[in-house]
Amino acid sequence: MLILLPPSEGKSEPVPGPPTDLGELVFSRQLSAKRERLLTGLQTLSAGPVEEAIEALGISARQAADVARDGQLEVAPAGPAVEVYSGVLYSHLDFDSLGVTAAKRAAEKVLIASALWGMLRPTDRIPNYRFSMKARLADLPGMAAYWRPALAEAMEAAGRDDEGGLILDMRSGAYSAAWKPKRARLLSVRAFTESGGSRKVISHMAKAVRGDVARLVLSARKLPTDAESVAAVLESDGLKVELSDAFLDIVEEA
């Protein structure tokens, strides 16, 4: 069982402390060089015209202050990724309130996809930053293509793509394009509302549903190992679940 989470656009500022140590992040052997290249690219970008940096990062003029911050990431204070990411999914996961067993499971079974870092463990220490999959740096391909070979090597070396394994995928399409398993079963989590026989995709609050799902799975009395047992855990908490080969759908009454 592996749970893949997306990063969060919303972030909290870590408390003052030491910066990120690339050698301590997950998959450092396979990913450190690529991480370092992006950090160097952001330093170069932040030293140039701010208008060009805004365009390269795909942000708005109101976020211009993030350009200068991104240029200082190698010396900026860092904190656990699961605390730095502060969006809806992470609020509903509420990592700090997980029980001891659930928190231990999260450390072993959760990875967070990232455009800047490739993959992270929940406890990997990172700074507040602004860098998404739509960012474009000079002389580099799109971020999904940039990460794809290294992530494939890292995930295979770590045994994360074993035959018969289950991967519960909470990522958006942009992040899932950077890595897909060849052997393990990938089960994407979706959320819908239903009213009068009509069903609609939940957009923003889908993140809340995914955070709830991750928390319930990690907190289960026995960690589920297949799609059917995941569905059973969620149904026991009152969720309406529909399971197919590639999707685990949560359906809420409108």
Predicted TM-score (pTM) of this structure: 0.96
Q: What is the pLDDT of residue 202?
A: 77
Q: Domain range spanning residue 49?
A: 2-253
Question: Letter for the amino acid at 82?
Answer: V
Residues listed for the chain: 254
Q: Is 163 exposed, middle or buried (0-12, 13-18, 19+ CB in 10 A)?
A: exposed
Q: What is the pLDDT of residue 120?
A: 98
Are 201 and 207 within 8 A, CB to CB? no
What is the total count of domains within the chain? 1
Q: What is the pLDDT of residue 196?
A: 79
pLDDT tens for the chain, 254 residues long, are 999 999 999 999 999 889 999 999 999 999 999 999 999 999 999 999 999 999 999 999 999 999 999 999 999 999 999 999 999 999 999 999 999 999 999 999 999 999 999 999 999 999 999 999 999 999 999 999 999 999 999 999 999 999 899 999 999 889 999 999 999 999 999 999 988 778 888 776 899 999 999 999 999 999 999 999 999 999 999 999 999 999 999 998 87
